[in-house]
Amino acid sequence: MDFRVHVTEDIIARAARKSSTACPIALAGREEGIFLRVGKDAIEVTVPGLDGRCVIPLNARITSWIARFDAGEPAGPLDLAVTVSTTGAPARHE
């Protein structure tokens, strides 16, 4: 299953720094119908209707964005593609 997570300026304004479930990426995920728990180097993804959850390692672009946001530095809008496998194959993001 593919999801596109859009972190907008409005979401950034409502988000909490250093929060795994109220950061901009997690809030944007909820708007797409998925639950994201965001860490510094990985995202745990839970999709309603699918059993279990998966962990997706993050690339340098996303970890840098998270670090900037958590430090209170400018972190503009972000688009993130999340692919969750329903067949047991590894999940991924772009």
**Is the separation of the CB atoms in 56 and 82 below 8 Å?**
yes
pLDDT attached to residue 90: 47
Domain locations in the chain as residue ranges: 2-93
pLDDT attached to residue 67: 96
pLDDT attached to residue 77: 96
pLDDT tens readout for residues 11-55: 999 999 999 999 999 999 999 999 999 998 999 998 888 777 788
Looking at residue 9, what DSSP letter applies?
A: H
pLDDT attached to residue 92: 52
pLDDT attached to residue 93: 55
The pLDDT-based confidence of 1 (bands split at 50, 70, 90) is confident
The span from the CA of 83 to the CA of 89, in Å, is: 10
Q: Which residues contact 17 (CB under 8 A, 6 or more apart)?
A: 23, 69, 70, 72
The pLDDT-based confidence of 83 (bands split at 50, 70, 90) is confident
